[in-house]
Amino acid sequence: MARPPSAAADERLGRRSPARRLLARPELGALLGAIAVFVFFSVVADAFLQAPSFSTVLYASSTFGIMAVGVALLMIGGEFDLSAGVMVTTSALIAALVGYQLTLNLWVGVLVSLVLTLALGFLNGLLYVRTGLPSFIITLGTFFMLAGANLGVTKLVTGNVASDSVRDMDGFASARAVFAADVQVGGVQVNMTVFWWLVFVAVATWILLRTRVGNWIFAVGGNAASARAVGVPVDRTRIGLFMGVAFCAWFSGMHLVFAFATVQSGEGVGNEFFYIICAVIGGCLLTGGYGSAIGAAIGAFIFGMVNKGIVYAEWNPDWFKFFLGAMLLVATVVNLVVRRRVEQSR
Amino acid sequence: MTDARNGTPLVELDGVGKHYGNIIALHGVSLDVSAGEVTCVLGDNGAGKSTLIKIISGLHRHDEGVLRVQGEEVSFASPREALDRGIATVYQDLAVVPLMPVWRNFFLGSEKRRAFGLMDIPYMRRTAREELLRMGIDLRDVDQPIGTLSGGERQCVAIARAVHFGAKVLILDEPTAALGVKQAGVVLRYIVQARERGLGVVFITHNPHHAYPVGDRFLVLKRGRSLHHCAKSEITREELTALMAGGAELEELAHELQSTSDDDRAGTAAAEELAREAKGLHATKED
């Protein structure tokens, strides 16, 4: 430290090779993985590179990718949300049931759902902040509560495990145009969710890298005690992150409603793990403080490619989960190496 | 610095105490921190140094006595409140977020903003670099994670940060504890620099050799109580060391070494050395 700011400084800088600099990017591992997966399925599956099937891959990526954005931000902030998967279903059910049962314009259901879903996220965050219990336990609790309530309330209201179809109701067409319509791009049908996904990723990246809140998210996940000591509102940041996940869940839920018109109340269980996998493959550290929304998007893209690529390669789709698990392990090892590199040269 | 002129200390503790349940961590401690002065708080592990700074920096509320900042009685509910009154604390271990870039750490919690919540990143990068340069740290790359800096450099980033954000009182928690001789020297130099800039510095340490050269005023804590409080003119380095080490304890240690290492010539030699030192300390204390 007391070195003269000339030769000694150069010497120190010399040790940081460009390769290591690149390695320190959270997205790098995911990007290499995505290229490998892409090349692999391009070779083994003839249909993979055709525009319509690629549009399907993007669609699958986007439906998980939108959730992965919120989950990745939360994970950078150092927490988990296991209730994210069923919260999507909850949100969809609220909109469909409120709209149908009260015979309202569906946009009212959409807004009611937004308010209630954000309240759920707020509750997750508040419980975590107030009790200090691990978010894993708290959201495991809300996960089961929501999963049970989804089925219970739907059966109670409709006498069925699915909500009634809202296809013919007021507002369906306009809401579908926003949340679920196909758009023609150069002769190919692309679902709206793909574009929304890009918007979500762009906004999240902007928040993380350019705003004060982004600084706080990294700090809260990296070292909450330090963050609090320098005056970062740690609790508010955490609650906000849980509400961010809830917002993504609301959006994904609205897609379900307006893509399929009926909502299966048992859906969503297990999806929370896919979101976490997308974020982790994309370079988010499980322990927080490190990661990016773009990485999570690449993670979701890998997820979509493997998910649909296996179908196009005409393999048994059961192998999907095997590949996904293997990829998670590889990604985690890569992340570990990256973190050691970053912390090593103390 | 106006405060120095009209004689009101920046921070004043009067009989301050703190207990956790039935454990009394601190009792009846008084202390003045004036602008342009370094106040050293010395004490062994468990003497109450950490509790003392947690009270001044707003992490804990005191249960007894009075805490005044610029003559006004306060009781801080959060570090933010202490910061707003110009009291900045540099913690030994939780000063920074290791994985975040240097400039983000520098501005964490006090980000410079433009419209729409956007951070003024070029300004923040430039300022962080300039402020560190002023402290003698020449970083080519303020984007490197702060975890890659050495311990002394990280302390200096934290000190530079506090100075930049207009701290009037700088609390340094064992800034030299984990450092080598040379690095500790550099940190001591910044302490003097901060004093020259008119800040009141509270320097917590268990090393009298670090405290004596830079300190203007010394508070020695022992088991949560104030053992000695004096100005530099009233105490010598040897007396300070004796207060810290406690001659009696050194003798005890010598006995212990003697008994455990009866057949061990090196151990015996060490014990004799300690005993001699203890005697020397007694002698200087009686002077």
Domain with residue A57: its CATH number is: 1.10.3470
Domain for residue A117, yes or no? yes
Query: Out of B96, B99, B110, whose CB is closest to A342?
Result: B99
Bridge partners, B228 (sequence order) = B220
Q: What is the pLDDT of residues B62-103, one digit of tens each?
A: 888 899 988 888 888 888 888 888 888 887 765 688 888 889
What architecture is the B2-245 domain classified under in CATH?
3-Layer(aba) Sandwich (3.40)
- Cβ contact (<8 Å) for B147 and A343? yes
Q: B138: burial class by Cβ within 10 Å (0-12, 13-18, 19+)?
A: middle
Longest CA–CA separation in chain A, Å: 78
Domain around A308:
27-339
- The residue of chain B with its CA nearest to that of A230 is B109
Q: Write out residues 220-279 of B within 8 Å (CB-CB) of A.
A: none
Is A289's Cβ below 8 Å from some Cβ in B? yes
Please determine, for residue A8, whether its predicted confidence score (pLDDT) is greater than 60: no
| Model pTM above 0.90 | no
Q: Is B55 on the interface with A (CB under 8 A)?
A: no
Cα B135 → chain centroid = 18
| Maximum distance among all Cα pairs of chain B, rounded to whole angstroms | 75
> What integer is the mean pLDDT of B162-191?
82
Confidence band (pLDDT; 50, 70, 90) for A1? very low
Taking an 8 Å cut-off on Cβ atoms, the answer to whether A210 and B121 are in contact is yes
CA distance A119 to chain B (A): 24
Paired residues of B89 in beta bridges:
B171
Chain A residues near residue B186 by CB distance under 8 angstroms: 1-2
Enumerate the residues of chain A whose CB falls inside 8 A of the CB of residue B118.
210-211
The answer to whether A222 contacts B98, with C-beta atoms less than 8 Å apart, is yes
Is A311 contained in some domain? Answer: yes
Given its phi and psi angles, is residue B236 left (phi above 0), alpha (psi -120 to 50 degrees) or beta? beta
List CB contacts (< 8 A) between B113 and chain A: 212
What whole-number distance in Å separates Cα of residue A220 and Cα of residue A171?
Answer: 41
Q: Chain A: nearest CA to B252, how far in angstroms?
A: 39
Interchain proximity B145–A346, CB inside 8 Å: no
d(CA A128, CA A138) in angstroms, rounded, equals 7
Beta carbons of A222 and B97 less than 8 Å apart? yes
ipTM of the complex: 0.78
Chain B CB contacts of A290 under 8 Å are 99
pLDDT tens digits for range A239-290? 999 999 999 999 999 999 999 999 999 999 999 999 999 999 888 888 888 8
Residue spans of the domains in chain B: they are 2-245, 246-287
How many domains, in total, are found in chain A?
1
Nearest residue to A254 via CA among A121, A71, A58, A114:
A114
> Would you call A1 and B136 a contact, using CB atoms and an 8 Å cutoff?
yes
Taking 80 as the threshold, does the pLDDT of residue B247 lie above it?
no
In a domain, A124, yes or no: yes
Cβ atoms of B272 and B240 closer than 8 Å: no
In a domain, A5, yes or no: no
A7, part of any domain: no
